[in-house]
Amino acid sequence: MSAGVEGLDETHDPARRSWVPGASEHPEFPVQNLPFGVFSVRGRQPRAGVAIGEFIVDLRGVSAAGLLSGEAEAAVEAAGGGSLSEMLELGAAPRRALRRRLSELLSDNAFSDRIGPLLHPAAECTLHLPCAIGDYTDFYAGIHHATNVGRQFRPEGPLLPNYKHIPIAYHGRSSSIRPSGMPVRRPLGQMKPPDNAPPVFAPCRRLDYELELGIWIGVGNELGEPIPIGQAEGHIAGYSLLNDWSARDIQAWEYRPLGPFLAKNFLTTVSCWIVTPEALAPFRIPQAQRPEGDPAPLAYLSDAEDQARGALDLHLEVLLRTGRMRAQGRLPHRVALSNARHMYWTVAQMVAHHASGGCNLRPGDLFGSGTISGPDEGSGGSMLESTLGGARPIVLPGGEERRFLDDGDEVFLRAYARRPGFASIGFGECRGVIEAARAVR
């Protein structure tokens, strides 16, 4: 294992190989990842599982086989009722204990006889949301996104004065968060044509994706009890991908003065696996130095350890495939390549800020990072950015152009972590295909 990376143990050893067929070569789910989720098989009750290669291990089964003990067993016992919230609520120690034990069980051949029967081919399983989500909060931590979008409205001063002082966020809608694969029905909504034309109620014409990281809260806090920045990391249970589908024309007309509402709440897609902070430990990099002249964070957002622990070096991609490309047998085409390191705020800063006024977080709460765009051409996490508000279309293989999403378009988000000396890990699928709007009644 590489020296100089904190929090590493044998679960990160790239030489550790799983006896599960194909797992060690799997680009996303080798034994070094072990993300948690909820799955069901052929209509049976959803239950807790862990991904290994192209398989899912039934965690209750592992426990029932007597292969767990202590904290690891307690973690699995808490994961009932088709939601991992109560397992995540236990905090980091049981999660780590379970991870260490699963790493052993899935890499030591001696256990293959007993665990083999508990493996379900992922292709035969349905994945569900991993938690019953209480509240969903969407941040705005992608500074290049905030700048790119701001530039379209305020060329002379794209970033608002509060941006570098506050991890800006707003409350989103939890009821309409769905697992990867759920079709995205194009929303109807009010929008305002230019000039003096009255508003109309019609299908959205500027439908967009947003490339975000989802952050799952494990341990909560009591109402009125802030979370000190030095303890914030301990409240993070893990990460997913999140597509914050956005209706730009509805948003432009509705958002003043209280922020986005129907432009965002018709659907939010998340990838179903919770990738743990432990799995991502090798892929932390020092938080980028703030550029000369940027303000230092206020004390409640300032922690040397958090800065040292740093950002996530996580490659993020958006891929697009139109209905015609699908019919032609074409693969999805990458339309954006970005990286989670472009977040201006650490996730710990988001947690500390959220609770700083006393707001209580609950296990299973979900944060969105905000759209994570990079500084370069081709790194825009939304079409609003990559097409400059629809002015410059994306050209796709086969010659089709897109300014915003058409019906039949399929959007894939992808995340993967790679670093010399470590096994690569990924996040699984975060996908949605656009369906035609309902008829206006």
Q: Check binding of 165 to its own copies (CB under 8 A).
A: yes
The distance of closest approach from Cβ of residue 130 to its own copies in the complex, given in angstroms and rounded to an integer, is: 18
The distance of closest approach from Cβ of residue 433 to its own copies in the complex, given in angstroms and rounded to an integer, is: 14
- The residue among 190 and 328 lying less far from its own copies, judged by its C-beta, is 190
Q: Check binding of 169 to its own copies (CB under 8 A).
A: yes
- Listed as own residue / partner, the contacts of 106-114 with beta carbons closer than 8 Å and 24 or more positions apart are 106/18, 106/19, 106/20, 106/23, 106/31, 106/34, 106/52, 106/57, 107/16, 107/17, 107/18, 107/19, 107/31, 108/19, 109/19, 111/19, 111/67, 112/19, 114/65, 114/67
Q: Check binding of 8 to its own copies (CB under 8 A).
A: no
The distance of closest approach from Cβ of residue 368 to its own copies in the complex, given in angstroms and rounded to an integer, is: 12
Instruction: Report which secondary-structure segment, H or E, holds 64.
Output: helix 59-64
For its own copies, the binding residue among 60, 255, 400, 419 (CB under 8 A) is 255
Q: Check binding of 231 to its own copies (CB under 8 A).
A: no
CA distances from 215 to 8, 125, 143, 246, 433 (A): 21, 24, 18, 19, 23
For its own copies, the binding residue among 35, 46, 53, 226 (CB under 8 A) is 226
Q: DSSP alpha helices (H): ranges in 70-120? A: 70-78, 85-88, 92-107, 112-115
For its own copies, the binding residue among 110, 327, 391, 440 (CB under 8 A) is 440
The distance of closest approach from Cβ of residue 100 to its own copies in the complex, given in angstroms and rounded to an integer, is: 32
User: Which residue, chain included where needed, has tokens 């807790």?
Assistant: 48
The distance of closest approach from Cβ of residue 376 to its own copies in the complex, given in angstroms and rounded to an integer, is: 24
Question: Rounded to whole angstroms, how far apart are CA atoms 323 and 321?
Answer: 7
Q: Which DSSP state fits 177?
A: E
Q: DSSP alpha helices (H): ranges in 136-262? A: 143-153, 229-232, 248-254
For its own copies, the binding residue among 254, 303, 306, 410 (CB under 8 A) is 254
Contacting its own copies within 306-335 (CB under 8 A): none
Q: Check binding of 399 to its own copies (CB under 8 A).
A: no
- The residue among 93 and 200 lying less far from its own copies, judged by its C-beta, is 200
Sequence-distant (6+) residues with CB within 8 A of 302 are 229, 296
The distance of closest approach from Cβ of residue 188 to its own copies in the complex, given in angstroms and rounded to an integer, is: 6
The distance of closest approach from Cβ of residue 351 to its own copies in the complex, given in angstroms and rounded to an integer, is: 13
* Size, binding site for its own copies by CB under 8 A: 68
Kindly tell me the sign of the dihedral angle through the C-alpha atoms of 357, 360, 361, 366. Answer: negative
Question: Rounded to whole angstroms, how far apart are CA atoms 361 and 359?
Answer: 7
User: Which residue, chain included where needed, has tokens 């341990």?
Assistant: 219
Q: φ, ψ for residue 40 (rounded to 5)?
A: -140, 155
Binding string, 282-301, against its own copies, x = CB under 8 A?
-------------x--xxx-
Burial class, 15, CB count within 10 angstroms (exposed 0-12 / middle 13-18 / buried 19+): exposed
Q: DSSP alpha helices (H): ranges in 300-371? A: 304-309, 323-327, 347-355
Closest CA to 33 of 257, 226, 240: 240
Q: Check binding of 425 to its own copies (CB under 8 A).
A: no
Binding string, 56-85, against its own copies, x = CB under 8 A?
------------------------------
Q: Which part of the chain contacts its own copies (CB under 8 A), choosing from 49-57, 86-94, 188-196, 415-423?
A: 188-196
For its own copies, the binding residue among 362, 400, 406, 419 (CB under 8 A) is 362
Q: φ, ψ for residue 199 (rounded to 5)?
A: -65, 155
User: Which residue, chain included where needed, has tokens 């379209």?
Assistant: 152
Amino acid at 82: G
Closest CA to 207 of 177, 171, 247, 168: 247
- The residue among 332 and 381 lying less far from its own copies, judged by its C-beta, is 381
Sequence-distant (6+) residues with CB within 8 A of 425 are 28, 29, 30, 32, 33, 275, 279, 280, 416, 417
Q: Which part of the chain contacts its own copies (CB under 8 A), choosing from 83-91, 123-131, 194-202, 334-342?
A: 194-202
- The residue among 187 and 282 lying less far from its own copies, judged by its C-beta, is 187
For its own copies, the binding residue among 173, 324, 326, 419 (CB under 8 A) is 173
Catalytic residue among 145, 235, 333, 353: 145
Q: Check binding of 206 to its own copies (CB under 8 A).
A: no
Q: Check binding of 189 to its own copies (CB under 8 A).
A: yes
145 counts as catalytic? yes
Binding site for its own copies (CB under 8 A): 134-135, 138, 140, 150, 160-162, 165-166, 168-176, 178, 185, 187-190, 192, 198-201, 204, 223-224, 226, 228, 247, 250, 253-263, 265-267, 295, 298-300, 353-354, 356-362, 365, 438, 440-441
Q: Among all residues, which ones are annotated catalytic?
A: 145
